[in-house]
Structure 1
Amino acid sequence: MENSKFMQFMERFFLPIADKLNNNRYLGALRDGFMVALPIIIFGSIFVVIANIPFLDQLLSEDAYNAYKDALGPASAATLSIMGMFVIVGIAYKLTAYYGGDAIYGGVTALASFLILTPQVLEDVTGVIPTSSLGAEGLFLGILTAFISTELFRFFVKKNWMIKMPPGVPEAVSRSFSSLIPISFTLSIFLLIRILFSITPFETIQNFIYSVIQEPITALGSGLPAAIIAVLLIQVFWFFGLHGQIIVNSIMDPIWMTLSLENYEAYQAGEERLHIVNNQFIDTFIVGMGGSGMTMAVILGLFIIAKSRQLKQLGKIGGPPSVFNVNEPIIFGLPIILNPLVLIPWLLAPVIITIVTYFSMSIGLVPVSTGVHVPWTTPIFIGGMLTTNSIAGGIMQLVNLVIVTLIWIPFLKLLDKRYFSEELAGASKEIAAGKDKG
């Protein structure tokens, strides 16, 4: 009865909020925009790993090692260091497409708007854009610019302030001229914004955004409490059949990605990496262990304790995909969705692992993430090593796997006992039915 009341309460008050977040056009564009940039980010991350192979500096001479790093450096400098540009284009492209507009023009307008706002001065040299403005420091402003420029572009198009070309003009030419006025008006507004900020004490909108908005929000998102809340929400959404990671990451990714980029810049400079909680912390040590909820531990538990045919078969089916962090067989086969028997370990285990991993990194047992992006399908242990550039990261994943398995086993025993009893009862009925026929 209590379970029923709890479920009714959650469905009445929680699910409507989750649905709104999941269907919000801005959060959707934000999520999809990062997905557009993801292949480029992963490419750069792979070469960061290759350029920083452990102990390579001890195997090569100093000159050979520096030449090796210099040769591979452009791969990350042209991708990870300026990832904000790719994210801006992706967000504006997806949001413009959502509105049914000319998506490519929405994307390039957002990028041009962002570059107009970006100071082109570096150490008194004009005409030069510092890459930091196109990376971590500029990411938050880039996201806001993508949203605002797309809305302005759409507004001018809806007003029909466009140049109409006569029939017979090639489509590419017609589209270009049709977008001329909306793009010009949009860029002019951003130019005016730049001019207005130049006469304030902040001098640039970057300084205003970073000091007044981004820095406080980033500091909030880098703490353990925020990580625990985010992980809990991911699990709760999944329990009700909603993709929790997509919903929560849509909100938290701008913060976590900024923290990752700052770690990456510190790593490249040989400085201390300050942010324990970041994109890789969540993806590698929480999600990257069989999928959301670390369901590889569930499969391991099934192999250890399962007596029922249903759970034994589920372990065999779900095992191979879980190696690559695909966990739909477990989510829907155990099942986890709306199953009160697994609610406690489903919510509890990721929170405990978040705390254990955080304190392991805070006391120096495990290095903090280098900021490189490891593909989400990377198997356990390998993912931990690549993320931290240390074998300790892989060991941390294995320790987490053991902890989660121990948490799950008592609840899996209850579930297995129920399924096993049902199978025995079913088998008894079949035997009885066979005797009656005989």
Structure 2
Amino acid sequence: MESFVYKWQDRLMPIANKIGNQKFLVALRDSFIGTMPVIMTGSFALMINAFLSDLPSQFGWESFTSTFQWLVDLNWIIFKGSIPIVALLFLFTFGVNIAKIYKTDTTSAGLVAIASYVITIGNSISKTFMLEDTISSSLGKMLESVDGLTVNGNELGVTISGAIPIEQIGAKGYFTAIIIGVLAVMIFCKAMSQNWTIKLPDSVPPAIMKPFLSIIPTAIAMYVVGIITFLFQSLTGELMINWVYKVLQSPLLNMSQSFWAILLLVFLNKFFWFFGLHGGNVLAPVMASLFGVTMLANLEAYQAGAAIPYMWTDNSFGAFVWFDAIGLVIATFWQSKNQHYKEVAKLGILPMTFNIGEPVMYGIPIVLNPLIMIPYILTPLVMVTVAYFATYFGLVAPVTQNVTWVMPPVLYGFFATAFDWRAIVLSLVNIGISTLIYLPFVKMADKQQEV
């Protein structure tokens, strides 16, 4: 068994290191992480409002909400500066991280990414309002004479030109942001590396020289994106962002909601971890670009009071799966006579309460331990199966809140589902599953110690 483990380690290590060190995947991963301070602030504001508004409404405590309405309003203002503009936040960090690869002006690269993306999106907002009664023909003609208004029976259409649609700078725009960000910033960086810049005397201060050096590369990048956008819209008759969302983003996100896709990602995460490779880092680009986007889409839908579009998100793993090794600690305290396991469990229980599993991972150890390999991989697969179908059949609400990863198990699921008490039950069931799966292997460790 040990020779099998080391053989697989030798095969996997180069592959995982190559994936983990691929410069553009690293830039993508770091860019998602870079938006977290703002995203978590907006998520915190939304979660506070869920506590002040949604939770009291379940018990008819409207007076409680009225008392804190000022805080609810304040949190909505804070929220506007975070998740609804997440594509723009991501673009700046993406531009900065790609520019770091080419060792060029990071600030200008971030601005180029944002500006180029705005070129590709719409510049008008259209809404349809239903009128109670069919309006008279004379009133309809009068309304149609107003620029931006259309009348169709009892439907009043309103179009506002010169405005950026908010939905296109939120989660809907992520895939287009990735494509345009890579294209525009690479053009900018290549132009900078070729010294296609305005030449200034050495006496010019660096603070002034750097922006001037970026003018020509910025213009080249933006004009290339502008030409592509113009030709694309002329040939297809639709905006690039709508096409990317329809053809690429939406199908991929829907595929990510498949039980088998989720099961595979959980397996790969734990498989890499078992061999000492950080599964979260190796899979981060996939997790962020798929399940991170579904998380933001659910947040936006929850804030708008709309139907929740996705059943499984990045935080669903944290709420119901990633605390899987806690069963090993509980089983050790409960039944183990192995002194080494018991000492590690004492040291690891507090960090694990906050989802920090490294002391147990490397202390038991779980990594490269053939005895623990089976429960370490099997446990999260069973837990994610239970959580997935509990969500699928409506036994627990889908995750709609972006909760910090150090939130303790049980509380994590409760907060992430906007205070659904059934998430507490599901979390406790999964902790029980983890404990029961690990228990016989903990007893095997006792027999090993006796030998």
Q: TM-score, normalised by structure 2?
A: 0.87
Task: Quickly say closer, same or farther: Cα 1:244–1:347, change in 2 above 3 A.
Answer: same
Deviation per residue, 1:169-189 (Å, 9 max, x gap): 111101011111111111111
Matched, 1:397 2:427: yes
Rounded Cα–Cα distance in structure 2 between residues aligned with 1:412 and 1:88: 48
For residues 412 and 193 of structure 1, what CA distance do their matches in structure 2 show?
A: 61
Q: Is the 8 A contact 2:338 2:445 kept in 1?
A: no
Tell me whether 1:32 sits opposite 2:62 in the alignment. Answer: no
Deviations 1:86-115 (A, max 9, x none): 111112211211221121211111111111
Is residue 299–residue 402 contact of structure 2 (8 Å, CA) maintained in 1?
Answer: no
CA-to-aligned-CA distance 1:290-345 (integer Å, 9 cap, x gap): xxxx2222211111122122111101110111111111111111111111111111
Note the C-alpha offset of 1:228.
0.5
The offset of 1:41, in angstroms, is 0.8
Does residue 1:106 correspond to 2:109, yes or no?
yes
Aligned residue for 1:426? none
Query: Does the CA-based 8 Å contact 1:202-1:208 persist in structure 2?
Result: no
2:370 counterpart residue number: 340
Q: Which amino acid aligns with 2:283?
A: V
Q: After superposition, where does 1:357-376 map in structure 2 within 5 Å?
A: 357-370=387-400, 372-376=401-405
Shift of 1:275: 1.6
**Which amino acid is the alignment partner of residue 86 of structure 1?**
L
Conserved in 1, the CA contact under 8 Å of 2:336 and 2:446?
yes
* Consecutive unaligned residues in structure 1, runs of 5 or more: 423-438
The aligned residue for residue 181 of structure 2 is 146
**Alpha-carbon deviations, 1:371-412, whole Å to 9, x = none?**
x21011111121111100112222221211110111011112
Q: For residues 215-242 of structure 1, what are the alpha-carbon distances to aligned partners after superposition, in whole Å with 9 as ceiling and x for unaligned?
A: 1111111211110111111011111111
Which consecutive segments of 4 or more residues in structure 1 shift more than 4 A?
Answer: 61-68
Aligned position for 2:61: 59
**2:406 is matched with which residue?**
377
Q: How many residues align?
A: 413
Partner residue of 2:39 out of 38, 41, 62: 41
Contact 1:384–1:395 at 8 Å: present in 2 too?
A: no
CA distance in 2, matches of 1:337, 1:164: 56
Output the amino acid matched with 1:415. Answer: A
Quote the offset at 1:164 in angstroms: 2.5
Q: 1:388 aligns with which of 413, 417, 420?
A: 417
User: Post-superposition shift, 1:63?
Assistant: 6.7
Give the match for residue 313 of structure 1: 343
Q: Which of 185, 190, 193 is the matching residue for 2:228?
A: 193
Aligned to 2:124: 121
- The Cα of 1:83 is off from its aligned counterpart by 1.2
The separation in 2 between residues aligned to 1:66 and 1:122, in whole angstroms, is 30
Match of 1:349 in 2: 379
Deviates more, 1:259-268 or 1:170-179: 259-268
Structure 1 residue 80 and structure 2 residue 83: aligned? yes
Aligned counterpart, 1:22: 20
User: Are residues 1:295 and 2:325 paired?
Assistant: yes
Q: Is the 8 A contact 2:188 2:217 kept in 1?
A: yes
Given the superposition, is the C-alpha separation of residues 408 and 63 from structure 1 closer, same or farther in structure 2, using an over 3 Å criterion? closer
Residues 311 and 15 (structure 1 numbering): CA distance in 2 closer, same or farther, change over 3 Å? same
CA distance in 2, matches of 1:311, 1:301: 10
Query: In the TM superposition, what is the alpha-carbon distance from 1:33 to its structure 2 partner?
Result: 0.6
Question: Are residues 417 and 95 of structure 1, via their aligned partners in 2, closer, same or farther at CA, if it must alter by over 3 Å?
Answer: farther
Aligned partner of 1:171: which letter? P
Asked if 1 retains the 8 angstrom alpha-carbon contact of 2:318 and 2:412, the reply is no
User: Offset of 1:6 from its aligned partner?
Assistant: 5.7
Aligned to 1:432: none
CA contact (8 A) 2:83 2:300 kept: no
Q: Name 2:93's counterpart in structure 1.
A: 90
Q: 1:410 to 1:136 in 2, by over 3 A?
A: same
Query: How much does 1:27 deviate?
Result: 1.2
SS in 2 for 1:228: helix
Deviation track 1:128-156 (CA, whole Å, cap 9, x = no partner) reads 11221111110111122222222111110
**Displacement of 1:13:** 4.0
User: How far apart, in 2, do the equivalents of 1:341 and 1:92 lie?
Assistant: 45
CA distance in 2, matches of 1:274, 1:22: 31
Counterpart secondary structure, 2:276:
coil
**Partner Cα distance (2:295, 2:336) in 1:** 40
> Identity of paired residues, percent?
30
Per-residue deviation at 1:268?
A: 2.1
Equivalent in the alignment of 2:146 = none
Q: Which residue matches 1:434? A: none
Q: Is the 8 A contact 2:5 2:368 kept in 1?
A: no
Quickly say closer, same or farther: Cα 1:334–1:118, change in 2 above 3 A.
same
CA distance in 2, matches of 1:4, 1:307: 28
Asked if the contact 2:325/2:376 (under 8 Å) is kept, the reply is: no
The 3 A distance-change label for structure 1 pair 121 and 333 is same
Distance 1:215 1:274 in 2: 11
Q: For residues 306 and 315 of structure 1, what CA distance do their matches in structure 2 show?
A: 10
Distance 1:296 1:129 in 2: 47
Question: Aligned equivalents of 2:199 and 2:448: distance in 1?
Answer: 70
1 CA distance for matches of 2:376 and 2:195? 52
**Partner Cα distance (2:307, 2:90) in 1:** 26
Q: Please, which moves more after superposition, 98-107 or 169-178?
A: 98-107
Tell me the residue number matched to 1:406.
436
RMSD, aligned α-carbons = 1.8
